[in-house]
Amino acid sequence: MQVRHADIEHVKGICGVCTRGYWDTYTELRPSEYIQRIVDEFYNAERVSNEVRGGEWWVAVDGDTVVGAGSGGIISESVGELFVLYVEPSRKYQGIGTLLLNAITDELRRLGVRDQWVSVAKGNLKGIPFYESRGFKFAKARKAYASNKNEDFFSLRYWRAI
């Protein structure tokens, strides 16, 4: 397995892994209409292609298959964020998520980032333990990004020094 910056050839795999990962994570937490709206907005080939060209995506590749994908970046001076991290549901608990998180974190650190943030959906019992076990601490709750005014979904903001 190799973890590396994504190339345009990985776009289809990134979209697939993130779509399946999102459905796997949120099926019990969100209505299917919400899930589909988010998947359509964030994990479409056009958007992901643009982000890959900007150097934002990392992939875990097993042979020619994308088995995990993540994205992170700088949000302000010395502050970074993990924007997204998903692993193929059938490949969870094999260390792939940790490898991706470490690669993204190492790059942010090289760029001068000292504080790292991540948002996790309230009730996400797959993501919360993962991040807490890697040193992230709960900081605050806020209305979930991309929620519309009729939805009462919250994200938990986690932070760690890197």
Over residues 64-86, the pLDDT tens digits come to 999 999 999 999 999 999 999 99
Q: pLDDT over 90 for what percent of the chain? A: 93
Residue 60 pLDDT more than 90?
A: yes
Handedness of CA 50, 54, 57, 62 (dihedral sign): positive
The domain spans of the chain are 2-161
Handedness of CA 10, 75, 104, 158 (dihedral sign): negative
Output the pLDDT for position 146.
77
Output the pLDDT for position 149.
81
Contact 156, 121 (CB under 8 A): yes
Residue 3 pLDDT more than 80?
A: yes
Q: pLDDT over 70 for what percent of the chain? A: 100
Average pLDDT over every residue of 95-106: 98
Task: Quote the DSSP letter at residue 10.
Answer: G
- Among the listed residues 110, 102, 133, the one whose alpha carbon sits nearest the alpha carbon of residue 120: 133
Q: How many CA atoms lie within 13 A of 24 on its CB side?
A: 16
Band of residue 148 on the pLDDT scale cut at 50, 70, 90: confident
- Among the listed residues 17, 31, 29, the one whose alpha carbon sits nearest the alpha carbon of residue 71: 17
Q: At what angle do helices 11-26 and 32-42 cross, to 10 degrees?
A: 160
Residue 158 pLDDT more than 80?
A: yes
Q: SS3 for 73?
A: strand
Over residues 113-133, the pLDDT tens digits come to 999 999 999 999 999 999 999
* Fold assignment, 2-161: Aminopeptidase (3.40.630)
User: How far are the Cα atoms of 23, 80, 124, 141 from residue 29, in angstroms, in the given order?
Assistant: 10, 27, 8, 16
The model's pTM is 0.94
